[in-house]
Amino acid sequence: MELSIDRLTKHYGSKIAVDCVSAVLTPGVYGLLGANGAGKTTLMRMLCAILEPTSGEVRFGGKEVASMGEAYRDVLGYLPQDFGYYPSYTAAEFLSYIAALKGLPRDMAGRRVGQMLEMLDLAAVANKKIKTFSGGMKQRVGVAQALLNDPQVLILDEPTAGLDPKERVRLRNLLSEYAGNKIVILSTHIVSDVEAIADQVFVMNAGQFVMHGSVPELAEQVRGKVWELTVPRGQAQFWQERVTVANYRHEGDQVVLRIIDDERPSDQAAPCEPILDDAYLYYFGEKEA
């Protein structure tokens, strides 16, 4: 099973939203990481055959998805960034409705709806109206509808938005397990979400893939550029104005800074083991990241 992206491009007038990106995806979890406006959502809509590219193509199993029609929708699960739902429907009613739209046979639909309600921890509220749900519960309904047809290609745009830390961990574990023989694409601007479960990460900026690799490979790119420096609290602002500070924590009257810089910022700075967050900040800086 293979999803191939070949020189995919999307223009809106003079604006280039996605600029000639290519990749070959096989079963596993792929993180699509980038700041808001990087082109992630436009790319995902083209991968779902919702948006027609200006040029390039997407193929699944060697066939162009634009020509596959219903056959591609049968193997696809998609959670858009703002998924639509009917507020007056209960969770069970809404999922049953989506199952019908996806063409699931009635007996299979009932079984899958029950499984998804259990899997996404919604069984206890299955008969409550969605309009009464918290943001995190609504998001879980969105993930459930994307999984209903047991898709071979699962595309999720900002799936952890609105989830509390416990829910985020639960969802990440679910996706990691699901991706054993499926292609899962997770788009987000939250580095920790892809760092935890992605087999491969594509970092997108200005419509292009600017970095690609496993989490350790991307982190390794900034080895020797990550430092820890302890300074008096009054000096923290001085350092923040001069270097990229990834993190700082207070220890009494001192502040421990995690600094990303090509050169050792001070004789007192100690090298740190790099992580994906460091690589992201190194390439994009604090403001953009």
Write the pLDDT tens digit of every residue in 102-155: 999 999 999 999 999 999 999 999 999 999 999 889 999 999 999 999 999 999
| 92 φ, ψ (degrees, to nearest 5) | -65, -40
Strands 3-12 and 55-60: antiparallel
Grade residue 267 by pLDDT with cuts at 50, 70 and 90: very high
Strand partners, 183: 28, 153
pLDDT of residue 287: 44
Q: Which CATH superfamily is domain 3-214 in?
A: P-loop containing nucleotide triphosphate hydrolases (3.40.50.300)
Collapsing DSSP to helix, strand or coil, 219 comes out as helix
Q: Give the long-range contacts of residues 44-49, CB within 8 A, separation 24 or more.
A: 44/78, 44/155, 44/157, 44/185, 44/187, 45/80, 46/8, 46/10, 46/18, 47/3, 47/5, 47/153, 47/155, 47/185, 48/76, 48/78, 48/155, 49/73, 49/76
pLDDT of residue 288: 46
**Closest among 174, 187, 156 to 83, alpha carbons compared:** 156
- Run of H or E residues at 123: none
Collapsing DSSP to helix, strand or coil, 9 comes out as strand
pLDDT of residue 209: 95
The two structure tokens encoding residue 4: 């191939």
Q: Is the pLDDT of residue 224 over 70?
A: yes
Q: Is the pTM of this model over 0.85?
A: yes
Chain segment 170-211, per-residue pLDDT in tens: 889 999 989 889 999 999 888 888 888 999 999 999 999 999
Chain segment 33-78, per-residue pLDDT in tens: 988 889 999 999 999 999 999 999 999 999 999 999 999 999 999 9
Helix, strand, coil percent content, the chain, rounded in steps of 5: 35, 30, 30
Residue range 8-17: mean pLDDT, rounded: 96
Chain segment 18-37, per-residue pLDDT in tens: 999 999 999 999 999 988 88
As a whole-number percent, the residues of the chain with pLDDT over 70 amount to 98
Contacts of 227 (CB under 8 A, 6+ apart): 258, 259, 260, 261, 264, 265, 269, 270, 271, 272
Grade residue 286 by pLDDT with cuts at 50, 70 and 90: low
**Closest among 166, 162, 281 to 219, alpha carbons compared:** 281
Q: Give the long-range contacts of residues 121-125, CB within 8 A, separation 24 or more.
A: 121/170, 122/91, 125/91
Grade residue 289 by pLDDT with cuts at 50, 70 and 90: very low
